[in-house]
Structure 1
């Protein structure tokens, strides 16, 4: 049996018929830019997330820096960002001349509010919680901290779609929330794509113009803007796939439950919070990120057994990338990155595949 970390070709094949229909409809009509499928998808995602507005943009990175612009952040401002994130979160700030201040994550690998007090300065204007691995941070703590310090909240929910904290969806807590539809995401398209959620009328109108060269709904150009429109073909694919999103999440949670149950007795593995561990959290398991002893040996053993694994972000938190010149002291995050590992987690996995992965990992630690 061969199990890649992610099987991109199966992503298309499992929904081939309905995706082909959506593709053909767009092609037959020549409906490529800002067409009905995009509007329908934006409405569908806003409804699903219980947000007032949704705007499709070109990718998840654009969603972050466009949000920063629309929220009024300026060059020289500081934003608090957990170092356990993709470089896009931090790069979006740097692109605008905003200074990212990297902060610790906690035991669930999300932002640790208890470690932030020393990081706030008069220049600090916003906090960006990263809803990582299909889990939403404790947003009560984030909101309280933001209110106490007069900070805006912009959510990076690129990996968080469908996840909830106290029954509220990731991406709906802040002034804006951002999603990515990279193909491997829980809701992914077949290229790049992103979206921004907001409940604020003014922010929505600003973003509507920013993503399309500054053009408003009346067709007039009202400000400078950029070209960051979600391609209508990708919107058509997402419109088809969002109808099966709940089913996708159910399956991911089933796989997570099996992993968690199987590995709970192995002392050398720390699993992420289980599906039913905390009633405040509804996790969707975009990724299943463990901490494990003998990580490199385990990866090699799994590779020999034809099972693909990866260490997230190429194996480095943002502050550990030497070329970026951060001097952050984040000992807890450092320890996590000595042990963290992503196991295969997606709905192309069969029950047989999941059981094989479990048995091979159990075999490794029995031998160890």
Structure 2
């Protein structure tokens, strides 16, 4: 091999993966496999007692009257919008720095996404929401990005003054609190993903909806199963958005372990914050009214792309959530936005990098990551 083409850094320590789902299953295998085998032997794979158990446990956990198990967080958002009668000619205000689903669901029901810029903590700016309200606005959809609940006090005040619905995109925030109240209980509906990468994670696609409103829960329960009231009676044309029994059982089991998982992630975040140089790596602080479950740990830095490449050369996995804001995606071109329309979002998109924070990290591994980040950024500065 040509020495000139050899990498500058040779990894001599074990890699630090960004996620570690395999270890999670290895720790749970002896408990989960008998449950899964029992379901497989029963032949009842879609709908049944595990769905009912999960929904009851989720409603209790989120402090809501209802929880509806679904096949994805995306469908939870779509069904919430549809249940509220939002469609063609309506506008929904949401941030442009989320995963694409937050905007796509608005388009799917025929409504128009209206973007509002964000705060330094990456969550939607209530002051920007107020500026975007028109006679067509029907709802606000804040996104609790990274596990931090958006500033729901001002958002709910704005919604009440203008007669708007509030749909929480709580995909990343199970277990998080705002002023002592759980994520998912702060609006008309809370929409959660249980994708394998989430803190409460299934072994496939899954999601759920939480609400205190009987009409939203009834709509979602009916629609998720073709609109069937019974085997031979269709009340409204629906679709398939059911959660299967195996995913429901896995989530029910993992829900019981979620507090420990969140505590480990919060401890990891606290250690990162103690070790990282705040002059070089900005991590938005948590306010006293926030309890952040840390789905992700995102810092904002200069030289982001070079830092990510350097960490990769050391065997340290990272991610970027998200490098291209939604308003600049090809799919959103019809909305007519251009670079510069949402300056805070756009600046953050060039500086954000997500460090490993999963619950199986050791203190030594976190120190290795923080040391690598500090050393690289100090040299780059």
For Structure 1 versus Structure 2, the TM-score category normalised by the shorter chain is over 0.9
Query: Are 2:41 and 1:33 equivalent residues in the alignment?
Result: no
Partner of 1:283: 292
Partner of 2:195: 182
Deviation of the 1:272 alpha carbon: 2.5
Partner of 2:379: 367
| Counterpart Cα distance in 2 of 1:349 and 1:271 | 19
| Counterpart Cα distance in 2 of 1:99 and 1:136 | 24
Counterpart contact for 1:71–1:175, Cα < 8 Å:
no
Q: Deviations over 1:250-297 (max 9, x none)?
A: 00100000011111x341211132xxx422000010000110011111
SS of 1:54 mapped into structure 2: strand
Partner of 1:166: 179
| Counterpart Cα distance in 2 of 1:175 and 1:242 | 23
Deviation of the 1:219 alpha carbon: 7.1
| Counterpart Cα distance in 2 of 1:72 and 1:178 | 17
Q: Given the superposition, is the C-alpha separation of residues 201 and 217 from structure 1 closer, same or farther in structure 2, using an over 3 Å criterion?
A: farther
Partner of 2:9: none
Counterpart contact for 1:266–1:365, Cα < 8 Å:
no
Partner of 1:102: 115
Query: Are 2:332 and 1:320 equivalent residues in the alignment?
Result: no
Q: Specify the structure having the higher radius of gyration (Cα).
A: 2
SS of 2:234 mapped into structure 1: coil
Deviation of the 1:133 alpha carbon: 0.6
Structure 1 residue runs without a partner (length 5+): none
| Counterpart Cα distance in 1 of 2:74 and 2:376 | 38
| Counterpart Cα distance in 2 of 1:14 and 1:350 | 16
Deviation of the 1:203 alpha carbon: 1.7
| Counterpart Cα distance in 1 of 2:168 and 2:96 | 14
TM norm structure 2: 0.92
Counterpart contact for 2:93–2:137, Cα < 8 Å:
yes
Q: Deviations over 1:92-131 (max 9, x none)?
A: 1111111111111101100101112331111110000101
Counterpart contact for 2:280–2:378, Cα < 8 Å:
no
Counterpart contact for 1:213–1:225, Cα < 8 Å:
yes
SS of 1:154 mapped into structure 2: strand
The range that moved more, 62-71 or 7-16, is: 7-16
| Counterpart Cα distance in 2 of 1:210 and 1:43 | 19
Deviation of the 1:217 alpha carbon: 6.8
Q: Give matches, 1:342-357, under 5 Å.
A: 342-357=354-369
SS of 2:256 mapped into structure 1: helix
| Counterpart Cα distance in 2 of 1:154 and 1:130 | 9
| Counterpart Cα distance in 2 of 1:97 and 1:121 | 17
Deviation of the 1:202 alpha carbon: 1.9
Counterpart contact for 2:275–2:367, Cα < 8 Å:
no
SS of 1:308 mapped into structure 2: coil
Counterpart contact for 1:208–1:216, Cα < 8 Å:
no
SS of 2:294 mapped into structure 1: coil
Q: Give matches, 1:69-108, under 5 Å.
A: 69-108=82-121
Q: Deviations over 1:131-182 (max 9, x none)?
A: 1111111111110111122111011100011101001011111111100000
Structure 2 residue runs without a partner (length 5+): 1-13
Q: Give matches, 1:207-356, under 5 Å.
A: 207-216=220-229, 220-263=233-276, 265-273=277-285, 277-313=286-322, 315-325=323-333, 326-328=335-337, 329-356=341-368
| Counterpart Cα distance in 2 of 1:17 and 1:105 | 44
SS of 1:45 mapped into structure 2: helix
| Counterpart Cα distance in 1 of 2:23 and 2:222 | 37
Q: Deviations over 1:10-36 (max 9, x none)?
A: 231121111212211211212201110
Deviation of the 1:84 alpha carbon: 1.2
Counterpart contact for 1:135–1:160, Cα < 8 Å:
yes
| Counterpart Cα distance in 1 of 2:24 and 2:73 | 20
2:214 to 201, 204, 219: 201
The range that moved more, 38-47 or 13-22, is: 13-22
What is the aligned length? 363
